[in-house]
Structure 1
Amino acid sequence: MCTGKCSRFVGLSLLPMAFICIICNLLLMFPNGETKWTDHITLQVWLMAGIGGAGLFMLCPSCNAIRAGGKGCCGEGCCGNRCRMLRSMISSIFGGLGSFYCLAVSGVALNDGPLCNFADPEQKSNWKYHFKEMENSYLTNKTSWNLCTQPPNIVLWHIVLFSILLAISSIEFVLCAIQIINSLMGVMCGDCRKKNNNEA
């Protein structure tokens, strides 16, 4: 696979992933799909790692990678291809940083658990990160999930969405790393496609 086709593949792969991350982060802001719990949202949700790091921050390297795989405004042939590859390499570095940010935040969120209200007959309100204080991981102890009474189903909501963010940001990080290497090869060696190739 030549550098141009590889860039196009990476760019087209990153684009839907960025939108999925944005949607996941937005859903985390509305636990159980309700708006009444917005005063009690996990800190990692407010860090906007899915919206910023793996979402909007990923649109630039995605678009640049797609353009690097086509015929852009800076001309055809060797010079134009190298120019687009250089821009794609620089933007992929920043994209890698954004995806790593989302990966780190999601990992911490899964480790600490959600902010929730534990069932406590002596206290009406007991909002804090209860799972963070447990010796054993709550991820493998499903019976402890029922202790979180508010918001409803918050533990499953938290685990599923942050797991998606963790998985996608990991893939984005790998793709950005591949694109950095691919773009570097494109800058040094040029695009292997022929000048008369009409591929967009």
Structure 2
Amino acid sequence: MCFGSCAKCLGGTLIPLALFGLVANILLFFPGGKVIDNNSHLSEEVWYFGGILGSGVLMIFPVLVFLGLKNNDCYGCCGNESCGKRMAMFTSVIFAAIGFVGAGYSFVISAISINKGPKCLVANATWTYPFQNGDYLSDHALWSKCEKPPNVVPWNLTLFSILLVIGGIQMILCAIQAINGLLGTLCGECHRGCCGREGPV
């Protein structure tokens, strides 16, 4: 198995996922596609930056390491050839763990927000969280509780669902690379890549 080629494939897949996570989190600052006049009216989970920090920034480091393994023919970590193939693969395991934690953070924040529902203006002119334990997910009639911002319920639900899926996929990919990196650390040889390539690790 060519562990360096596999890592490159995983790193390339993580790039668009990280970008989608960043965009989705940024859009959450504009509920219903509108600019809100008071930031305190935003759901507090938006300010946890799950998509920006977890699925975005923290994913940059694993991506660079995964792509660098193949680019450097896996003979060095961080461009230092003296580290050796096995050390380079072991380094990728550490960064895969960092990516897993970041994706997990985004996943958990998204799940909490989906269950909690958005913050919105209700009938008594109060900004609050009108839903309980995800009851609005199965009863769309409850969405009318939110008077403002317009369409905030489907907006938040859609974007946090996207972040949930992205975080889940990123966790799986980072877990695969952790296993791939451990095998590369132990084996240190390349026979056939998971992407159909051959060559040194």
Q: TM-score, normalised by structure 2?
A: 0.86
- Is the counterpart of residue 36 in structure 1 residue 36 in structure 2? yes
Question: Runs ≥4 in structure 1, deviation > 4 angstroms?
Answer: none
The one of 104, 109, 123 aligned to 1:105: 109
Alignment pair present for 1:74 and 2:80: yes
1:20 is matched with: 20
Q: 2:12 corresponds to which letter in structure 1? A: L
**Deviations, residues 63-106 of structure 1 (Å, cap 9, x unaligned):** 11111123162339xx6332321221111111111111111110
Using the TM superposition, give the Cα deviation of residue 170 of structure 1 relative to its aligned residue in structure 2, in angstroms: 0.3
Q: How far apart are 1:164 and its partner, in Å? A: 0.3
Query: How large is the Cα RMSD of the aligned pairs?
Result: 2.1
2:188 is equivalent to residue 182 of structure 1: no
Q: Secondary structure of the residue that 2:121 maps to in structure 1?
A: strand
**1:62 and 2:101 correspond:** no
Distance in structure 2 (CA, Å) of the matches to 1:128 and 1:106: 18
What is the aligned partner in structure 1 of residue 11 from structure 2? 11
Per-residue CA deviation, residues 89-141 of structure 1 (Å, 9 max, x unaligned), is: 111111111111111110000000000112x2xx3x22111012x7x721121
SS in 1 for 2:183: helix
Asked if 1:91 corresponds to 2:95, the answer is: yes
C-alpha contact 2:2 2:199 (8 A) present in aligned 1? no
Structure 2 runs not aligned, ≥5 long: 193-197
CA contact (8 A) 2:136 2:143 kept: yes
The answer as to whether partners of 2:89 and 2:185 remain within 8 angstroms in 1 is yes
CA distance, structure 2, for counterparts of residue 11 and residue 126 of structure 1: 45
**Aligned equivalent of 2:154, options 146, 153, 156:** 156
Q: Which runs of 5+ in 1 are unaligned?
A: none
- Matched-pair identity in %: 37
Write the letter of the residue equivalent to 2:105.
Y
In structure 2, distance between residues paired with 1:62 and 1:8: 8
Residue in 1 aligned with 2:138?
140
Task: State which drifts further: 49-58 or 32-41.
Answer: 32-41
Deviation by residue 1:141-163 (Cα, 9 ceiling, x = unmatched): 11211221100100000110000
Compute the displacement of 1:193 (Å): 5.9
Once the two structures are overlaid, the 10-residue window that deviates more, 26-35 or 174-183, is 26-35
State the one-letter code of the partner of 2:164: L
Shift of 1:191: 4.1
Secondary structure class of the residue paired with 2:89: helix
Could you tell me which amino acid in structure 2 is paired with residue 114 of structure 1?
Answer: P
Distance, in Å, in 2 between the alignment partners of 1:198 and 1:70 is: 12
**What amino acid is the match of 2:18?**
A
